[in-house]
C-alpha cells in the first residue's frame, strides 16, 4: 500500500540554475529557508506545495524515471519565484542525497580516493546502468556533472536531472564520459587502477560499446566482491492478523523447508493472495511453489556456469520465470471458468542470492549478487543500522499516475484509489505482465526484508526498522525471534490484514562471517557460508590444496619458533625465576629421597 509520509523536517533541492543566486539564510516565499545553494528547508512541511498541471517539460523526466527512485530524486512541487517582470517556476525535489542534518552526502569525487576497489567499480557500474534510461529521457547530461553524483554507502545517487537541451552544443557521448573519468578518477585503487585506466582510454577512443563497458565494470566489481566472506541467515513467518480467520499469504522458506533447502537459504519469497478475489490463498501457494522450483534450477545453473553471466541476462531469465508462473495461474483460472473478480491472483516479491563461483587467490568466492523480482505491492527493503532503503515500487494507481506524468508522488498517494493494484500474477496474460527485476550487490552488512503489505502499511517498516537493525546485525537477537517480534508488532498495529515477512541477514565483515560459521557449527541459525570445507575439498584445485598445506605448515613452524624465542628471552633476563620454577615443577630427586627417609 502506498501511503503519505509522516510530517517531519523536509529538505528539498531547488532544481533551477537561478536558485544558485539566492544567498544562504534567505527565506523564499515566506516558507523555504535557504541552507546552501539549491538546498532548501521547508519550514511548513504540513502544508502542500504548489503543483503545476500539466507538468512542465523540465519536470516530466522525473515522472518517467520514477521507477529509478533508489538513485534519482522525485518531484515534490514547485516554488514560484518572481523576478522583475517574469515568474520562474522552480521544481522542488525530494528524495535527494541529503542526510538527516541537511547536509549533502559526499560526492563521488570526495569519496573516491578513500573507497575500496569494490565500491569504486560498483559505483561506476551503477552510473553505466543508468545510461540507457537517462538517455531515453533526454537527461544524460546528469552523469557528466561530477558534483551531481553523490554516494550513499554502496548506492550512487543524483541530486537532480539535467536536461540535455541545456548542453546541446556539447552532446554527451560515451567518449566524453571516458575522458571525464580519465581526468577526474585517476586515483583509483591500485588493485584496479590499470584496468580502469585501460577501460577509460577505450571509451575515450570509441573502441568499446556501452555493453562492453558495463560487462568490464561488472566483472571487476564481482571479482572484488568474491574476495569478501559471506555469512547468510534467513528466517520467515506469517500471521493471519486480528481480523482474519484464514491467511491468504504464503512465504518461503518455512522452518521445515529451510532444513531441506538445497540452495542453503538463498531464496526468499512472499506472495499475498489478492483480497476480494476468490482463490487468493490457492494462487499464493501455487506461485510460491512454482517460483521455488524454477529458481532453484536457475541458481544451480549459475553455480555450474564456467563464465560470468551478466546481470541483464539473469534479470531476463527471472522475468521469464515470473511470466511462466503467471501463465500457470491464468490457465488455472481459465480451466475453472473464473472471470472478473472470481479470478484468483497474487502479488509476489522474491529475492535470490546468486552465487556465481569466481576463482581468486583464496580459491573460489561468491559473487555477492542479490536479485529482487516483484509484481504488485509486496515489498523489499535493504536495512543497515543507519538507514532503511525501499528497493521496490508498488504496482498501484498512485505509482501509475506518477510514472505517466499526471501527478507528483505525495499527492498521488492521497487519492481514494491510490492503493488499487494495477497488476498481480494470474490477472492477465504473461505478455501483459511487467515484473520488475533488479540486481544489487551485498557488499556491506545488512538485512534484506521482504514483506506483504500487512507489514508495510501505515509506514510501519519505516517507523520500526531501527528497533531491529542493530540488534540483528550484532546478533543480540536471533533472526527467528526478530521475525516473531515484528509480526506481533504488525498484528497490533496493522491487524486488519494478513502479515508475512522474510528476513535475510547478510554479513560480509570478517568478524561477523566468523561468528556465522560458529553458529553453523553449533547447530543454531541456518547460515550459508561460502567456501565451506566440503565445497573446498571437492572443488579446490590441486594447486590451491597445496597452497593451503604450505600456509598451514608455515603457520605452525612460525608459532613454534616464536614460543621458543620467548622461552629463551625469559631464561636470559630472569634466570633466578626460571631456576625457582624449575625446582618447583622438577624437584631434585635426591632431596626427595632424603625427605622421605626423615619422614619414615
Q: Is residue 516 part of a domain?
A: no
Q: Do residue 84 and residue 141 come from a single domain?
A: no
Question: 423 and 563: one domain?
Answer: no
* pLDDT bucket at 596, cuts 50 / 70 / 90: very low
Q: Are residues 86 and 122 in the same domain?
A: no
**Final residue in a domain of this structure, among 191, 225, 259:** 225
Same-domain pairing of 393 and 265 = yes
The residue segments making up the domain with residue 355 are: 231-508
| 221 plus 328 within the same structural domain | no
In a domain? residue 538: no
Query: If you average pLDDT over each of 458-472, 500-514, 560-574, which comes out highest?
Result: 458-472
Q: Are residues 87 and 210 in the same domain?
A: no
State yes or no: pLDDT of 490 exceeds 70.
yes
> What is the mean pLDDT of the segment spanning 535-561?
39
Is 10:80 a contact under the CB 8 Å cutoff? no
pLDDT band at residue 189 using 50, 70 and 90 as cut-offs: confident
Q: What confidence tier does 85 reach under pLDDT thresholds 50, 70, 90?
A: confident
pLDDT the model gives residue 557: 43
Does residue 240 share a domain with residue 213? no
Residues 239 and 321 grouped into a single domain: yes
Q: What is the pTM of this model?
A: 0.83
* Higher per-residue confidence, 33 vs 576: 33
Which comes out higher in pLDDT, residue 167 or 563?
A: 167
pLDDT of amino acid 97: 97
* Residue 509 pLDDT class (50, 70, 90 cuts): confident
In this predicted structure, the answer to whether residue 588 has a pLDDT above a threshold of 80 is no
Lowest mean pLDDT across 161-170, 255-264, 440-449, 549-558: 549-558
Please report which confidence band the pLDDT of residue 575 belongs to, taking 50, 70 and 90 as the band edges. low
- Distance separating alpha carbons of residues 96 and 38, to the nearest angstrom: 11
Last residue of a domain, one of 64, 94, 124: 94
Residue 539: pLDDT band (50, 70, 90) is very low
547 domain residue, yes or no: yes
Q: Which long-range contacts (CB under 8 A, 24 or more apart) does 174-177 make?
A: 174/203, 174/206, 174/208, 174/210, 174/213, 175/203, 175/204, 175/205, 175/206, 176/144, 177/143, 177/144, 177/203
**Co-location of 295 and 384 in the same domain:** yes
Q: Do 297 and 327 lie in a common domain?
A: yes
Residue 176: which of 150, 144, 140, 128 has the closest Cα? 144
Strand pairing category for 267-273 and 363-366: unpaired
Please check whether residue 518 lies inside any domain of the structure: no
* Domain-embedded: residue 5: no
Report if residue 103 sits inside a domain: no
| 3-state helix/strand/coil string of 261-322 | CCCCCCEEEEEEECCCCCCHHHHHHHHHHHHHHHHHHHHHHHHHCCCCCCHHHHHHHHHHHH
* Beta-ladder partners of 75: 93
What are the pLDDT digits (tens) for 239-298?
999 877 789 999 999 999 988 887 778 999 999 999 777 789 999 999 999 999 999 999
- Give the chain's domain count: 4
pLDDT value for 511:
54
Does residue 520 fall inside a structural domain? no
Same domain, 401 and 492: yes
* Residues 189/115, Cβ–Cβ less than 8 Å: yes
Is 188's pLDDT higher than 80? no
89 and 124 both lie in a single domain: no
Summarize the confidence of residues 426-454 as an average pLDDT: 96
Give domain status of residue 312, yes or no.
yes
Mean pLDDT of 459-484: 96
CATH number of domain containing 460: 3.60.40.10
Boundary of a domain, candidates 225, 253, 273:
225
Amino acid at each position: 500500500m502506498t501511503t503519505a509520509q509522516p510530517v517531519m523536517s523536509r529538505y528539498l533541492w531547488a532544481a533551477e540554475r537561478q536558485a544558485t543566486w539566492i544567498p544562504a539564510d534567505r527565506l523564499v516565499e515566506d516558507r523555504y529557508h535557504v541552507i546552501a545553494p539549491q538546498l532548501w528547508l521547508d519550514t511548513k512541511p504540513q502544508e502542500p506545495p504548489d503543483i503545476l498541471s500539466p507538468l512542465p517539460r523540465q519536470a516530466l523526466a522525473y515522472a518517467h524515471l520514477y521507477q529509478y527512485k533508489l538513485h534519482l530524486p522525485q518531484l515534490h512541487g514547485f516554488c514560484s519565484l518572481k523576478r522583475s517582470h517574469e515568474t520562474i517556476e522552480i521544481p522542488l525535489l525530494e528524495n535527494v542525497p541529503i542526510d538527516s542534518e541537511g547536509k549533502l552526502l559526499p560526492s563521488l569525487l570526495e569519496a573516491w580516493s578513500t573507497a575500496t576497489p569494490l565500491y569504486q567499480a560498483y559505483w561506476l557500474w551503477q552510473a553505466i546502468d543508468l545510461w540507457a534510461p537517462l538517455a531515453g529521457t533526454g537527461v544524460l547530461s546528469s552523469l557528466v556533472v561530477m558534483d551531481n553524483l553523490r554516494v550513499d554507502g554502496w548506492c550512487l545517487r543524483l541530486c537532480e536531472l539535467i536536461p540535455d537541451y541545456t548542453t546541446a552544443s556539447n552532446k554527451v557521448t560515451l567518449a566524453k564520459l571516458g575522458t571525464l573519468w580519465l581526468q577526474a578518477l585517476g586515483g583509483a585503487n591500485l588493485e584496479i587502477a590499470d584496468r580502469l585506466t585501460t577501460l577509460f582510454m577505450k571509451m575515450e577512443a570509441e573502441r568499446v560499446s556501452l555493453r562492453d563497458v558495463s560487462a568490464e565494470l561488472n566483472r571487476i566489481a564481482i571479482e572484488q566482491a568474491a574476495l569478501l566472506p559471506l555469512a547468510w541467515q534467513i528466517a520467515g513467518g506469517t500471521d493471519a492478523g486480528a481480523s482474519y480467520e484464514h491467511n491468504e499469504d504464503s512465504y518461503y522458506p518455512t522452518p521445515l523447508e529451510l532444513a531441506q533447502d538445497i540452495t542453503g537459504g538463498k531464496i526468499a519469497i512472499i506472495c499475498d493472495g489478492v483480497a476480494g478475489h476468490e482463490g487468493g490463498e490457492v494462487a499464493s501457494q501455487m506461485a510460491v511453489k512454482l517460483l521455488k522450483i524454477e529458481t532453484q534450477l536457475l541458481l544451480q545453473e549459475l553455480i555450474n556456469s564456467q563464465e560470468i553471466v551478466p546481470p541483464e541476462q539473469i534479470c531476463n531469465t527471472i522475468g521469464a520465470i515470473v511470466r511462466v508462473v503467471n501463465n500457470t495461474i491464468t490457465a488455472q483460472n481459465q480451466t475453472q471458468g473464473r472471470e472478473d473478480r472470481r479470478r484468483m491472483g497474487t502479488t509476489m516479491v522474491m529475492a535470490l542470492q546468486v552465487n556465481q563461483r569466481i576463482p581468486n587467490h583464496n580459491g573460489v568466492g561468491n559473487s555477492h549478487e542479490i536479485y529482487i523480482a516483484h509484481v504488485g505491492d509486496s515489498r523489499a527493503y535493504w536495512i543497515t543500522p543507519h538507514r532503511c532503503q525501499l528497493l521496490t515500487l508498488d504496482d498501484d494507481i498512485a505509482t501509475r499516475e506518477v510514472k505517466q506524468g499526471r501527478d507528483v508522488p505525495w499527492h498521488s498517494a492521497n487519492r481514494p484509489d491510490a492503493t488499487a493494484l494495477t497488476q498481480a500474477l494470474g490477472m492477465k496474460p504473461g505478455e501483459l505482465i511487467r515484473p520488475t527485476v533488479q540486481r544489487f550487490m551485498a557488499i556491506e552488512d545488512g538485512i534484506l526484508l521482504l514483506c506483504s503489505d500487512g507489514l508495510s502499511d501505515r509506514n510501519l517498516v519505516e517507523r520500526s526498522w531501527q528497533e531491529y537493525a542493530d540488534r540483528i546485525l550484532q546478533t543480540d537477537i536471533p533472526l527467528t525471534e526478530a521475525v516473531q517480534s515484528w509480526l506481533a508488532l504488525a498484528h497490533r498495529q496493522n491487524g486488519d490484514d494478513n502479515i508475512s515477512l522474510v528476513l535475510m541477514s547478510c554479513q560480509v565483515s570478517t568478524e561477523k562471517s566468523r561468528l556465522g560459521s560458529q553458529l553453523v557449527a553449533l547447530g543454531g541459525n541456518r547460515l550459508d557460508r561460502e567456501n565451506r570445507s566440503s565445497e573446498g575439498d571437492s572443488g579446490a584445485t590441486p594447486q590451491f590444496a597445496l597452497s593451503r598445506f604450505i600456509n598451514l605448515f608455515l603457520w605452525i613452524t612460525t608459532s613454534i619458533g616464536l614460543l621458543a624465542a620467548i622461552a629463551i628471552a625469559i631464561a636470559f633476563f630472569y634466570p633466578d625465576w626460571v631456576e625457582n620454577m624449575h625446582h618447583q615443577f622438577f624437584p631434585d630427586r635426591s632431596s626427595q629421597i632424603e625427605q622421605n627417609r626423615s619422614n619414615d
